Amino acid sequence: MKVPIGLIAAVFTTLQALAQEAIPLWPAAAPGALGTADKDIPTLTPYLAKPELATGAAVVICPGGGYGGLAGHEGRDYALWLNTQGIAGLVLKYRLGSAGYRHPVMLNDAARALRCVRARAAEWKLDPTRVGIMGSSAGGHLASTLLTHFDAGDANSTDVVERQSSRPDLGILCYAVISMGPNTHQGSRENLLGKDPSPELVQLLSNELQVTPQTPPCFLWHTWEDSGVKVENTLDFALALRRAGVRFDLHVYEKGGHGLGLGGNPSDPGKLLDWTRDCATWLKGAGFGRK
C-alpha cells in the first residue's frame, strides 16, 4: 500500500516534536565514572508539557530493568503520559550494575537528577517545590531509595546544582522492588549490591525499613499476580508509610503480571491500565495534575 506523502510528513513532524535532547547530569565526568562510554554518562531527557496544559509540576522517571538495563516503555512512555496531565516528565538514564556500577552510584545519579530539575526550573518554567520521582520495578527501588535517603543540598557548594535539595515532593512507585531482604528481586539486588553484601548494606537499602515522617507522600500500585516482584514489597512500604504518618494511595490490582507499564499508547487514555486513571486523580489532589 502506498502511504500518502502528507501522512509521512505529519508523522515525521510529530516525531521531531517529541524528540528531546539528553542532558548529562554533570558537565564533566560523573563522580565514580568507570569510563567515558555512553553507559558511563548519566543523563536526563526532558519531555515538557505543552504550554497550554502545563501546570509547572515535574516528575523524574526511573525506568526499570533489574539494575541491568532500562525499559523504554517505563521511561519515555510515562513521560508522554505525564505530559497529558500537564506535568513535565524527565527520564533518567542512570548507571547500571551490568556496567560495573554499585550503590551508591545509582542513588547519586537520582539525587543529581532532582537537583538538576530544581536548578533549571526557571528555564523550563517549572515550580521547584513540585518535583516528584517515579519508578517501576528496580527503577521503583531507586525512586524509593531517594524517597528515604535524600538531603537538603550543600548551601556552600560552588555548583549551583549541588545547592538544591534532593528530596522529592512526592513519589509514584509502580510494582516496585522495595526490599533487599527475603522479598527482594534477586537480580536487582545483585546488580545493585553485588553477590555478597553486608547485612548493614542490605538493611540500609531495604527501604521499607528507612521510612520516616519526612518521607514524601506516595502513590503505590502492584498486582496480586506479579511473579517477578512480590507484592509484599509494596504492601510493606505502605505499612511503613502508615506507621510514620505519611500519606499514600495504595492500589493492588488482582490481574496482571510484571512490567506492565501504561498498558497502551500514552495518547490513547481509553486503552491504558486503570492505575493511570487512579494516579491522575491522585496527582490532581496533590497539586501536580490539571484540574
Number of H helices, E strands in the chain: 9, 8
Cis preceding-peptide flag for 104 (omega within 30 of 0): yes
Residue at 156 is within a domain = yes
And the C-alpha cell for 264? 497502551
Number of structural domains found in the chain: 1
Cα 199 to chain centroid, rounded: 26
Residue at 2 is within a domain = no
Residue with cell 515538557: 48
Rounded Cα gap, residues 25 and 117, in angstroms: 10
Residue at 136 is within a domain = yes
Residue at 182 is within a domain = yes
Residue at 18 is within a domain = no
Task: Encode the chain (291 residues) as per-residue pLDDT tens digits.
Answer: 333 333 333 433 343 344 479 999 999 999 999 999 999 999 999 999 999 999 999 999 999 999 999 999 999 999 999 999 999 999 999 999 999 999 999 999 999 999 999 999 999 999 999 999 999 999 999 999 999 999 999 999 999 999 999 999 999 999 999 999 999 999 999 999 999 999 999 999 999 999 999 999 999 999 999 999 999 999 999 999 999 999 999 999 999 989 899 998 887 888 899 999 999 999 999 999 998
| Residues 258 and 289: beta-carbon distance below 8 Å | no
SS3 call for 116: helix
Largest CA distance in the chain: 63
pLDDT of residue 118: 98
Residue at 36 is within a domain = no
Residue at 35 is within a domain = no
pLDDT of residue 177: 98
And the C-alpha cell for 168? 522529592
Q: Domain of 267? A: 44-285
Q: The domain that contains 248 carries what CATH number?
A: 3.40.50.1820
Residue at 27 is within a domain = no
Give phi and psi for 251, each to the nearest 5.
-135, 120
- How big is the CA angle at 14 (ends 8 and 17), to the nearest 5 degrees? 140
Quick one: which of 83, 47, 78 has its CA closest to 272? 78
